[in-house]
């Protein structure tokens, strides 16, 4: 099951990144398409640390938290010809939204087929995608939630937050360090919450 978890996790991370590039392309920025990143070929997206090493550590560690990423899909918001104000937030939100859609898809497959083995595999897919979706909504740069929050805050707060976010973007390892600390502190609570949601969605 750990191998299946790993495969589903990598598949979900890749779709998450492709979604960013696909939405950016629809808004008028072809950067990801020109870079050959609008593909499901895992070799194009895999980052050795974020896609292989950390996910394996997460899965193999007793009570470990789920953590991982693929190579970020490049995009240039200055190329947007539609939704110039909200475009970057929509590109960012596309990743977690894709994970939540995949979670619902796996939940539907779990309910549609009664085979216990297949249901357990789909349940893993639900868990992996709920984790990725909620994790990426944490509003700490460089995670997607930071761009979404910056777009929905009232103007005075938004300007202050965006200045802080831009400074943090230049030091992504600090941001990831903060996220890891948050997950370590609240990971067990988050795991119980996500497991409960997965159980409700799948009926297991």
Note the pLDDT tens digit of each residue in 166-179: 888 888 788 888 88
Q: How far apart are CA 97 and CA 117, in angstroms?
A: 27
Mean pLDDT for all residues in the chain: 87
Q: How far apart are CA 67 and CA 91, in angstroms?
A: 21
- Reply yes or no on whether the pLDDT at 197 is more than 90: yes
Parse the chain into domains and list their residue ranges.
2-202
- Reply yes or no on whether the pLDDT at 62 is more than 60: no
Handedness of CA 73, 75, 77, 82 (dihedral sign): negative
pLDDT score, position 66: 61
- Label residue 203 by pLDDT band (50, 70, 90): confident
Average pLDDT, integer, range 100-109? 96
Provide Rg for the chain, Cα atoms: 17
Percent of the chain residues past pLDDT 90, beyond the cut: 49
| Beta carbons within 8 Å of 173's beta carbon, 6+ residues apart | none
Average pLDDT, integer, range 149-176? 87
pLDDT score, position 114: 72
- Reply yes or no on whether the pLDDT at 63 is more than 60: no
Q: How far apart are CA 204 and CA 202, in angstroms?
A: 5
Catalytic residue among 17, 88, 162, 163: 17
Q: CA distances (Å), 98 to each of 20, 90, 136, in order?
A: 9, 12, 11
- Residue 162 bears catalytic tag: no
């Amino acid at each position: 099951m750990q191998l299946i978890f790993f495969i589903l996790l990598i598949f979900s991370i890749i779709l998450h990144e492709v979604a960013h590039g696909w939405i950016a392309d629809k808004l008028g920025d072809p950067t990801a398409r020109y870079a050959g990143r609008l593909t499901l070929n895992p070799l194009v997206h895999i980052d050795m640390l974020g896609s292989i090493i950390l996910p394996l550590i997460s899965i193999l560690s007793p009570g470990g938290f789920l953590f991982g990423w693929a190579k970020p899909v490049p995009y240039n918001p200055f190329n947007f010809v539609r939704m110039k104000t909200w475009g970057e937030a929509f590109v960012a939100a596309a990743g977690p939204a894709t994970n939540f859609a995949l979670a619902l898809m796996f939940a539907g497959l779990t309910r549609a087929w009664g085979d216990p083995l297949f249901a357990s595999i789909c349940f893993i897919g639900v868990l992996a995608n709920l984790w990725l979706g909620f994790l990426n909504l944490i509003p700490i740069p460089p995670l997607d939630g930071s761009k979404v929050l910056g777009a929905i805050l009232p103007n005075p707060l938004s300007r202050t937050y965006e200045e802080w976010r831009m400074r943090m973007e230049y030091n992504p390892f600090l941001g990831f360090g903060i996220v890891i600390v948050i997950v370590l502190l609240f990971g067990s609570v988050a795991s119980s919450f996500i497991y409960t949601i997965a159980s409700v969605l799948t009926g297991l």
